[in-house]
Structure 1
Amino acid sequence: MSIQPLDVLYTAVATAENGRDGKVASDDGNLEVVVNPPKQMGGSGAGTNPEQLFAAGYSACFQGALGVVARQTKADISGSTVTASVGIGKTPAGGFGLQVAISATIPNVDEATARELVEKAHQVCPYSNATRGNIEVTISVG
């Protein structure tokens, strides 16, 4: 897969201090959070963590992609939700890796239509495109 140039519409900028045990802030002041490793990884769990931030971004982005697809197909996705679960663990090579499970609930369409919409959204979503072929991402409807 080759990287194609983008016509950049927006660039988000955030700076981290002290890695997983510090804080992260956006350059515009709209985001400032304390980050700490979760208790399962030996941290205090007092703040958020990078995996929660990734899950938040992915779920919001996927919901937006679902909206694009729904408008194209004239499907009613009102009341829909998208949940992203991001897992972190050790890789066989000794580093760390991520896996993601995306679950969409679309109450106003039948299951076959929901699956079709979610599959199409997975092709449109920038997070899905960025992770495709790099980490395991599963998608489901519920």
Structure 2
Amino acid sequence: CFHNALILVGNRAGYDLTGSTVAAKVGIGPNKHRGYGLAVALSVSLPVLDADVAAKLVDAAHEVCPYSNATRGNIDVTIVLG
């Protein structure tokens, strides 16, 4: 889902994201309320773009992605550009 959002915002901004990838790792662990919660780590690769442009597109995708919107404030999400 995040990759599709990334491609959408990239295309709207005029960038070709051929070769881009997104990998997700989902974990579970204790939260501050003595219960358990989820955490997600997204590894994003945009090999044809410079780091500043890539970061802007990732931020925009995080605002557009339905899963990002559904889980915002509910789970920890870490996005790493690589």
TM-score if structure 2 supplies the norm length? 0.92
Tell me the equivalent position of 1:132.
Answer: 72
Map Cα deviations across residues 15-39 of structure 1 (whole Å, 9 max, x no partner): xxxxxxxxxxxxxxxxxxxxxxxxx
Paired-residue identity, %: 54
User: In the alignment, is residue 98 of structure 1 matched against residue 38 of structure 2?
Assistant: yes
CA distance in 2: counterparts of 1:140 and 1:115, whole angstroms: 9
In structure 2, stretches of 5+ residues that fail to align are none
Higher relative contact order, structure no. (Cα contacts within 8 Å, ≥ 6 residues apart): 2
Give the number of aligned pairs: 82
How far 1:81 moved relative to its partner? 0.3
CA distance in 2: counterparts of 1:75 and 1:140, whole angstroms: 20
Counterparts in 2 of 1:45-60, with a 5 A limit?
none
Tell me the equivalent position of 2:24.
Answer: 84
Tell me the equivalent position of 1:122.
Answer: 62
1:86 partner SS: strand
2:42 partner SS: strand
Higher helix share goes to which structure? 2
Higher strand share goes to which structure? 2
CA distance in 2: counterparts of 1:91 and 1:141, whole angstroms: 26
RMSD: 1.0
CA contact (8 A) 1:115 1:140 kept: no
CA distance in 2: counterparts of 1:118 and 1:93, whole angstroms: 30
TM-score if structure 1 supplies the norm length? 0.55
CA distance in 1: counterparts of 2:48 and 2:26, whole angstroms: 27
